């Protein structure tokens, strides 16, 4: 009896000690006493509202001063949230690559974003977990896999021909051409085809562009509705109704396109021998593992199609405009690109005249200077100056400071790409910096920043842009053909203005106006 009593006591003691140790471990784990990164004084409501009502461009320029004063990590209280800003490439690497899983979360959506993202049911806003994984894997495997990307070659050729024709006819009637609208239309027709599997007529295309841009351009304006929604919905009710109308318009334009495709799929009319599957086809088949294997509802499909269109059009057409602006300004760069293309393009006979073929996608591999031009433009003019806000799964310490679970972490893409410690004369446009010494090939440059982050126009780590290869292909293909077909010059009496303005992306404040003439090849 005694011996059993001793055994029982010993076992209980072991459990008790274990329990005490785990409580101590939990306390030391969760109780982080490090301070938040420094920042300006916070006056409740007043400073929170101030940051909410100014644009990210303004915040960015204020942050430059704050970083000079406080160091590479700065805290601001924006609205009801603690927002940490990181302007240092090594800290970005430490967070996004070395501690990738911890920093791969997204913050809980604020009221406006909750509506636009169907309660975080899209890739960019879903928290790091099973729903995000299934949505991201679907996009990566079904639309962005190299074999699938290749199956849209004909679509790209058709979009390129239309773009060249539009530019040609515009340049006939105007001395200088505003290229922005042409680039946007081209990227929209390409992505709308990839999304809905059909060439929609111009009227429908304009409708899609209108509803998508309406919401994108409203991002700043509707931000204020995220703070104290019950009050701001009343104070800014005109804005609130405008937002709801834009959401309704979007549904009215996108839902019929989704339904059309669904009907065709159900009646077996889709023929994947001629055309590859569209993004919406893959969404119709998708099941959500954490939600009882249910299918996506229509609202969620609208959200995901809208994300696909926004992510793939505005970013790329903005980058295209910055690239062409640099080629207009720096004629020697444009000429060098043309010389490089001349060496690899084959001739064909048309009506006894020798004409050059268009540059096709296989040719792009043989154009290292073209790649350098594109990398340099993405470094110097990244379409997004911040990655999307990240969040951590638990309170963590970075660089001696607390990063709280309930806050957001923002990485400053432009600042990182302009770091004078890495890039000599960082604000100059010098594609050669990406070439080897004899300028015969691009130095191996890892845009994903896995080993070291030197620039991060597509982000880094688990949340890196899944479309970066597609974006690079689009940029290379269009830039090569645009300079091959036309000579791009500054219009008489004009100049290229590199001032920036924040829309959804950081665009040219004064859109590029170019004099375009047909290029004569000898
Ligand atoms: C020049 C063009 C592009 C640029 C500069 C760009 C840049 C970025 C950046 C900076 C992020 C945020 C990364 C982060 O939060 O850490 C992102 C995310 C994303 N991008 Fe892109 N992107 C481009 C084109 C595309 C294309 C063509 C697609 C697809 C069709 C795409 C789809 C996405 C998606 C779905 C996300 C969210 C990823 C996630 O949260 O897991 N992007 N992109």
Element (H, E) at 508: strand 506-508
Confidence of residue 371 (pLDDT cuts 50, 70, 90): very high
Residues 159, 179 within the same domain: yes
User: Residue with the nearest Cα to atom 15 of ligand 1?
Assistant: 388
- The three-state secondary structure class of 178 is strand
Residues 351, 361 within the same domain: yes
Would you call 355 exposed, middle or buried from its count of C-beta atoms within 10 A (0-12, 13-18, 19+)?
A: exposed
Indicate whether 215 pLDDT > 60: yes
| Whether 363 contacts 330, CB under 8 Å | no
pLDDT at 9: 67
> Does residue 308 have its Cβ closer than 6 Å to ligand 1?
yes
> Does residue 296 have its Cβ closer than 6 Å to ligand 1?
no
Most confident stretch, 12-16, 56-60, 405-409: 405-409
Tell me phi and psi for residue 394, to 5 degrees. Answer: -150, 165
> Does residue 508 have its Cβ closer than 6 Å to ligand 1?
no
Residues 202, 253 within the same domain: yes
Indicate whether 518 pLDDT > 90: yes
Instruction: Print the domain residue range for 252.
Output: 31-518
* Three-state DSSP string of 37-94: CCCCCCCCCHHHHHHHHCCHHHHHHHHHHHHHHHCCEEEEEECCEEEEEECCHHHHHH
Q: Tell me the longest C-alpha to C-alpha distance in the chain.
A: 111
**Is the dihedral angle over the CA atoms 362, 368, 371, 377 positive or is it negative?**
negative
pLDDT at 27: 44
Give per-residue pLDDT as tens, 293-307. 999 999 999 999 999
Indicate whether 400 pLDDT > 70: yes
Confidence of residue 5 (pLDDT cuts 50, 70, 90): low
Q: Which atom of ligand 1 is nearest to the CA of 460?
A: 16
Indicate whether 347 pLDDT > 80: no
Beta strand pairing call for 81-86 and 73-78: antiparallel
> Does residue 486 have its Cβ closer than 6 Å to ligand 1?
no
User: Residue with the nearest Cα to atom 19 of ligand 1?
Assistant: 465
Task: Out of 416, 467, 472, 473, give the residue to mutate to test ligand 1, the one with the largest number of ligand atoms within 8 Å of its CB.
Answer: 467
Euclidean distance between CA atoms 222 and 112, whole angstroms: 7
Residues 9, 157 within the same domain: no
Euclidean distance between CA atoms 224 and 300, whole angstroms: 24
What does the pLDDT average to over 244-255?
Answer: 95
Residues 460, 432 within the same domain: yes
CA 232 to ligand 1 center in whole angstroms:
31
Using a pLDDT cut of 70, give the percent of the chain over it: 90
Residues 296, 440 within the same domain: yes
Instruction: Look at 94 and 40; give whichever has higher pLDDT.
Output: 94
- The three-state secondary structure class of 124 is coil
> Does residue 466 have its Cβ closer than 6 Å to ligand 1?
yes
**Is the dihedral angle over the CA atoms 370, 481, 172, 321 positive or is it negative?**
negative
Indicate whether 109 pLDDT > 80: yes
> Does residue 254 have its Cβ closer than 6 Å to ligand 1?
no
Q: What percent of the residues of the chain are helix, what percent strand, and what percent coil, each to the nearest 5?
A: 55, 10, 35
Euclidean distance between CA atoms 513 and 496, whole angstroms: 8
Tell me phi and psi for residue 44, to 5 degrees. Answer: -45, 145
Cα 455 to the center of its chain, rounded Å: 14
pLDDT at 234: 87
CA 388 to ligand 1 center in whole angstroms:
9
pLDDT at 447: 93
> Which one-letter DSSP state was computed for residue 223?
G
User: Residue with the nearest Cα to atom 1 of ligand 1?
Assistant: 316
Nearest to 317 by CA among 381, 272, 265: 381
pLDDT at 104: 97
Domain count, the chain: 2
Confidence of residue 348 (pLDDT cuts 50, 70, 90): low
Residues 3, 136 within the same domain: no
Nearest to 339 by CA among 439, 520, 484, 488: 484
Question: In sequence order, which residues have a C-beta less than 8 Å from that of residue 274 and are 6 or more positions away?
Answer: none
How many other C-beta atoms can be found within 10 angstroms of the C-beta atom of residue 506? Answer: 22
Confidence of residue 37 (pLDDT cuts 50, 70, 90): very high
Task: Out of 93, 312, 458, 477, give the residue to mutate to test ligand 1, the one with the largest number of ligand atoms within 8 Å of its CB.
Answer: 458
pLDDT at 167: 97
Q: Which atom of ligand 1 is nearest to the CA of 191?
A: 30
Indicate whether 26 pLDDT > 60: no
Residues 8, 62 within the same domain: no
CA 311 to ligand 1 center in whole angstroms:
6
Residues 122, 14 within the same domain: no
Confidence of residue 22 (pLDDT cuts 50, 70, 90): very low
The pair of three-digit structure tokens given for residue 85, joined into one six-digit string = 């800003």
Residues 230, 260 within the same domain: yes
User: Residue with the nearest Cα to atom 6 of ligand 1?
Assistant: 458
Q: Which atom of ligand 1 is nearest to the CA of 308?
A: 30
Indicate whether 330 pLDDT > 50: yes
Residues 509, 367 within the same domain: yes
Least confident of 98-107, 337-346, 474-483: 337-346
pLDDT at 23: 46
What does the pLDDT average to over 297-318?
Answer: 96
> Does residue 384 have its Cβ closer than 6 Å to ligand 1?
yes
**Is the dihedral angle over the CA atoms 363, 364, 365, 366 positive or is it negative?**
positive
Euclidean distance between CA atoms 24 and 59, whole angstroms: 41
Beta strand pairing call for 500-502 and 486-489: unpaired
Give per-residue pLDDT as tens, 414-457. 999 999 999 999 999 999 999 987 767 777 789 999 999 999 99
Give per-residue pLDDT as tens, 127-179. 999 999 999 999 999 999 999 999 999 999 999 999 999 999 999 998 899 99
Could you give the C-alpha distances from 184 to 79, 197, 469, in angstroms and in order?
33, 19, 19
Indicate whether 357 pLDDT > 80: no
pLDDT at 225: 85
Least confident of 41-50, 145-154, 395-404: 41-50
Task: Out of 133, 311, 476, give the residue to mutate to test ligand 1, the one with the largest number of ligand atoms within 8 Å of its CB.
Answer: 311
Residues 22, 149 within the same domain: no
Least confident of 277-281, 320-324, 439-443: 439-443
Mean of all residue pLDDT scores within the chain: 90
Would you call 71 exposed, middle or buried from its count of C-beta atoms within 10 A (0-12, 13-18, 19+)?
A: middle
Q: Which atom of ligand 1 is nearest to the CA of 472?
A: 1
Would you call 261 exposed, middle or buried from its count of C-beta atoms within 10 A (0-12, 13-18, 19+)?
A: buried
Indicate whether 55 pLDDT > 80: no
Beta strand pairing call for 73-78 and 486-489: unpaired
Q: State the residue for tokens 């479309």.
A: 467
Whole-model pTM?
0.91
Indicate whether 497 pLDDT > 90: yes
* Binding site, annotated residues for heme: 465
Indicate whether 18 pLDDT > 60: no
> Which one-letter DSSP state was computed for residue 96?
I
The pair of three-digit structure tokens given for residue 154, joined into one six-digit string = 């004909």
User: Residue with the nearest Cα to atom 21 of ligand 1?
Assistant: 465
Q: State the residue for tokens 């058709």.
A: 158
Indicate whether 31 pLDDT > 80: no
């Amino acid at each position: 009896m005694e011996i059993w009593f001793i055994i029982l006591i010993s076992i209980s003691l072991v459990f008790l000690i274990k329990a005490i140790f785990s409580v101590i471990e939990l306390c030391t784990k969760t109780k982080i006493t490090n301070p938040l990164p420094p920042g300006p004084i916070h006056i409740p409501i007043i400073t929170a509202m101030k940051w909410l009502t100014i644009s990210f461009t303004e915040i960015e320029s204020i942050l430059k001063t704050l970083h000079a004063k406080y160091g590479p990590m700065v805290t601001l209280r924006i609205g009801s949230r603690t927002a940490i800003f990181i302007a240092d490439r090594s800290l970005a690497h430490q967070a996004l690559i070395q501690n990738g899983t911890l920093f791969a979360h997204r913050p809980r959506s604020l009221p406006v974003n909750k509506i636009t993202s169907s309660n975080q049911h899209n890739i960019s806003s879903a928290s790091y977990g099973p729903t995000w994984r299934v949505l991201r894997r679907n996009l990566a495997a079904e639309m962005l896999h190299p074999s699938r990307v290749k199956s849209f070659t004909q679509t790209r050729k058709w979009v390129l021909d239309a773009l060249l024709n539009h530019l040609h006819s515009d340049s006939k009637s105007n001395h200088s051409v505003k290229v922005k609208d042409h680039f946007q239309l081209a990227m929209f027709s390409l992505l709308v085809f990839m999304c809905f599997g059909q060439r929609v007529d111009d009227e429908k295309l304009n409708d899609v562009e209108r509803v998508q841009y309406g919401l994108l351009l409203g991002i700043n304006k509707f931000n204020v509705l995220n703070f104290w929604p019950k009050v701001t919905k009343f104070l800014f009710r005109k804005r609130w109704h405008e937002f709801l109308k834009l959401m309704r318009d979007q549904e009215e334009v996108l839902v019929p396109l989704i339904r059309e495709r669904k009907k065709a799929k159900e009646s077996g009319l889709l023929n994947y021998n001629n055309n590859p599957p569209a993004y919406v086809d893959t969404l119709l088949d998708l099941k959500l593992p954490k939600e009882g294997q249910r299918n996506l509802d229509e609202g969620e499909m609208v959200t995901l199609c809208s994300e696909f269109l926004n992510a793939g059009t505005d970013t790329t057409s903005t980058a295209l405009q910055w690239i062409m602006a640099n080629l207009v300004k720096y004629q020697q760069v444009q000429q060098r690109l043309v010389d490089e293309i001349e060496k690899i393009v084959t001739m064909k006979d048309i009506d006894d005249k020798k004409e050059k073929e268009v540059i096709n996608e296989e040719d792009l591999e043989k154009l290292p200077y073209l790649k350098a031009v594109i990398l340099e433009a993405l470094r110097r003019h990244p379409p997004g100056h911040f990655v999307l806000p990240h969040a951590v799964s638990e309170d963590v310490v970075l660089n001696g400071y607390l990063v709280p679970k309930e806050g957001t972490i923002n990485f400053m893409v432009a600042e990182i790409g302009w770091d004078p410690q890495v890039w000599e004369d960082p604000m100059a446009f010098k594609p050669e910096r990406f070439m080897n010494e004899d300028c015969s090939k691009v130095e191996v440059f890892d845009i994903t920043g896995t080993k070291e982050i030197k620039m991060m126009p597509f982000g880094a780590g688990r949340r890196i842009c899944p479309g970066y290869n597609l974006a690079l292909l689009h940029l290379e293909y269009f830039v090569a053909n645009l300079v091959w077909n036309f000579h791009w010059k500054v219009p008489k009496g004009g100049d290229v203005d590199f001032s920036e303005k924040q829309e959804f992306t950081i665009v040219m404040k004064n859109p590029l106006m170019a004099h375009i003439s047909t290029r004569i090849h000898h």
